[in-house]
Amino acid sequence: MEITVLIENTGPPMFYAEHGLSLLIEQEGRRYLLDGGQSGDFLKNAQSLQEDLGRIDHTILSHGHYDHGNGFLAYLKRYPDRKIWASHTIFEDYYSGSKGQIHYIGLSPELKVLQDRFQLIDKDTRIDAQGVLILDEVDKDLESLRMKKMYRKCHDQFVPDTFSHELSLVFDTPNGLVIFNSCSHAGLRNIVEPIRRKMNRPVYAYIGGLHMKSLQKDEQGTSFSQEQIQIQAQYIQEYIRYVYTGHCTGEISYQLLKEILKEQIQPLTTGQRIKL
């Protein structure tokens, strides 16, 4: 398997970088595009990397946030025959309460009018012989949901987002499962455990943001408490061979995890190619 990071928050000056994520995944002759960032600049990076996005077997949107989906406006315009796999709830209105103010982070109205260009699913779905889309199980921990300060607008009320719109792209490889979950809003363990249970296979790699910078900061200024960092690291050590992460993980949280996990965790950055 080869993964090319088409766009991420960070990257060398020859590439466009933005708060968002887009990954090109190649597995046994098939090509999968996961997410499109927020602007469509991933298309320019693909050209710089000499990646032909005219050859894509499946396109997937991981969840209904602008920094993963809005870039698909340019993509759908360039490729009028394409359809995008996604959860059936991606077009609801999603908000964030970060920085002390509730603000809209859902998909753009321009993308919402293109719903006929999406293949929406409401259950786990195999998209071909290699890839399966697994919907994240709804987070029912109200205290955890309130801490995340992420919301869905329902009848003019802001209610905690349970992340029913989030899904994982999973491949069962000879080395074990490779799980792609772009933001991990529901929590790493909450995402991985149901997948391990359903597929009864070890996890070889987990790729995506860990959403660790948006929780309330403790007195040391870190995104998670030291105890939470330790619990996260212990879970990875026990159940996941490699983690490649960036985007919404947060620099401080990443460095604290790196101190514990060493080479078991690696960063994502625009233009990077990863071979598994």
Assign 246 a pLDDT band (cuts: 50, 70, 90): very high
Q: What mean pLDDT comes out for the span 167-195?
A: 96
Q: How far is CA 134 from CA 60, 151, 159, 174, 198, in A?
A: 12, 22, 24, 19, 10
Of 146, 182, 141, 177, nearest to 165 (Cα)?
A: 182
Q: pLDDT tens digit string along 65-99?
A: 999 999 999 999 999 999 999 999 999 999 998 87
Measure the CA–CA gap between 186 and 169, rounded to whole angstroms.
15
pLDDT of 14 over the 80 cut: yes
CATH of the domain at 267: 3.60.15.10
Which of 28-32, 68-72, 84-88, 183-187 has the weakest average pLDDT? 183-187
Residues 208 and 170: beta-carbon distance below 8 Å: no
More confident residue, 180 or 146: 180
Residues 252 and 217: beta-carbon distance below 8 Å: no
Q: pLDDT tens digit string along 124-170?
A: 999 999 999 999 987 666 556 666 788 999 888 999 999 999 999 99
Q: What is the pLDDT of residue 98?
A: 80
Which structural domain, as residue segments, surrounds residue 168? 2-275
pLDDT of 192 over the 80 cut: yes
Q: What mean pLDDT comes out for the span 246-262?
A: 93
Q: What is the pLDDT of residue 92?
A: 96
pLDDT of 209 over the 80 cut: yes
Cβ-based neighbours of 271, under 8 Å, separated by 6 or more: 5, 11, 12, 14, 15, 45, 48, 49
Measure the CA–CA gap between 180 and 195, rounded to whole angstroms.
11
Whether the model pTM is above 0.85: yes
Q: Which residues pair with 239 in a beta bridge?
A: none
Which tokens hold the place of 17?
């970088």
Structural domains counted in the chain? 1
Widest pairwise Cα distance in the chain: 52
End-to-end CA distance of the chain: 5
